[in-house]
DNA sequence: TAGATTGTTAATCGATTAACAATC
DNA sequence: TAGATTGTTAATCGATTAACAATC
């Protein structure tokens, strides 16, 4: 019986393990070891074994891990063996690019709908989707049971929009706006901010 | 004389401090405290003081920090008081969206050029830019002294392209491709991978 | 069998927090 | 002055690594 919660920093590494394993599988490999996976990801073998052992015993002494089996297990742990419908909020440049991006399908996520509040954008076609009026979001989200939103509105609108999303039932937000969101702690938030990452790197440049 | 290097995890928080301070400044505030900044960013006041004290004494007992002064200092520390020319590599959906994005200018970065290897894309106009042939990248990068690249090519081409970028003088890569790059340790790499972040969140969802 | 590699424990390392004298 | 807040030290906390018995 596992009483202590898994550290979030461990959870955050699991998707990377899954990604590496999929690439190994694509390359035709069927087994790997903590050592090999660690070299691939630049993570110590001990850490990988320790992380995985939090969830079960997935390997075999002497031979390592069966790749397809470990992929299955990680997908189960991360809840991505099902397909999550996600909503894109904001049909600007970034919203467009995300809707057209093919990388989410077959990885646990399906872009279900895209919303904007600009009358000039509502009704516009993007790939297979039509931009919907943000006023209809509650209906759409509740009908499809959507729990995840990708927020690509301007910084000035992000906080208010995020609060609205939470009010209509969203539980997780991938925030592309360059502002920290202040939301109830039970709502999961991850931020994507290229400027922050660029400034992190320039510290080390001449 | 400060001999021990600053921990990378501290450096990684500085851009967030800078972002928050700029937002405070926009809101008309002129001073703040570690307590207030901490509440804004959900970071402890002690940690903010400790982080900043690694670089100097920027505050005043009793009153806190002068916002414009601290912004200046952080910009200096992060090397973003100058303007860095950056190159976009890959003129797909994402490359397009980034070139059109206005958020980098006045924040230390200027999109200087965009490259692709697809003849159908070379010569295409995006905003104020023309997509250039990747074959010309060495000239362009060395003429402008570009050190930073944003890599938005398909996963299958990312590693080889990254190695080429390093060979022509790139020192820092913001990698949008969903693969870990294996490069010499002196090259800075930051990854942007929405799928990894989504899978991190679904762990916590029902 | 011999070699390889796991899962786990204990040791180490590093990061965060609490506390407080100094002082604006 | 009294209240507030810094910079810093020491204590705590948590994460990473090293080591190794178990065993495939």
Return mean pLDDT, chain A: 96
- Whether the per-residue pLDDT at A168 is higher than 70: the answer is yes
pLDDT of residue A65: 98
| Residue B89 near residue B165, CB atoms below 8 Å | yes
Q: Where are the alpha helices (DSSP H) in B33-154?
A: 34-41, 45-53, 67-77, 93-100, 137-144
Q: The tokens of B159 are what?
A: 């590693």
Chain B interface, best mutation among A101, A151, A156, A203, by max B CB count within 10 A: A203
Closest CA to B151 of B44, B142, B143, B137: B137
**Using 50, 70 and 90 to split pLDDT, how confident is the model at A110?**
very high
Mean pLDDT value of segment B147-155: 98
Output the distance from B155 CA to C7 C1' rounded to whole Å. Answer: 34
Interchain contact, B14 vs A203, CB within 8 Å:
yes
According to DSSP, residue B6 is labeled P
Burial B185-205 (b: 16+ CB within 10 A, else e): eebbbebbbbbbbbbbbbbee
**Using 50, 70 and 90 to split pLDDT, how confident is the model at B139?**
very high
> What is the model's pTM?
0.96
| Residue B202 near residue A81, CB atoms below 8 Å | no
**Using 50, 70 and 90 to split pLDDT, how confident is the model at A2?**
very low
Nucleotides in C strand less than 7 A from protein CB = 2-9, 14-19, 22-24
Interchain contact, A178 vs B14, CB within 8 Å:
no
**Strand order across the B84-89 sheet:** B125-126, B129-133, B109-116, B84-89, B148-151, B172-175, B188-191
Residues with CB under 7 A from strand D: A 7-10, 43-44, 46-47, 49-50, 60-63; B 33-35, 45-46, 49-50, 52-53, 57-65
Q: Which of B77, B196, B202 sits opposite A19 (nearest CB)?
A: B196
The bridge status of strand A64-66 relative to strand A59-60 is antiparallel
């Amino acid at each position: 019986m596992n009483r202590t919660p898994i550290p979030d920093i461990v959870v955050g590494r699991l998707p990377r393990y899954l990604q590496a394993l999929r690439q190994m599988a694509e390359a035709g490999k069927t087994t790997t070891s903590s050592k090999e996976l660690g070299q691939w990801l630049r993570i110590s073998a001990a850490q990988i074994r320790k992380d995985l052992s939090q969830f079960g015993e997935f390997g075999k002494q002497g031979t390592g891990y069966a790749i397809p089996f470990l992929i299955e297990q990680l997908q189960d742990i991360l809840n991505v063996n099902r397909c999550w419908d996600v909503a894109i909020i904001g049909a600007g440049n970034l919203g467009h690019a995300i809707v057209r991006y093919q990388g989410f399908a077959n990885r646990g996520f399906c872009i279900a709908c895209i919303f904007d509040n600009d009358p000039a954008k509502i009704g516009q076609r993007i790939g297979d989707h039509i931009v919907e009026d943000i006023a209809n979001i509650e209906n759409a989200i509740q009908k499809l049971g959507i729990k995840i939103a990708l927020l690509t509105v301007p910084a000035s609108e992000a906080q208010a929009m995020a609060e609205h999303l939470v009010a209509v039932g969203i539980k997780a937000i991938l925030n592309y706006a360059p502002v920290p969101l202040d939301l109830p702690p039970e709502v999961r938030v991850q931020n994507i901010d290229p400027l922050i990452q660029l400034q992190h790197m320039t510290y080390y440049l001449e």
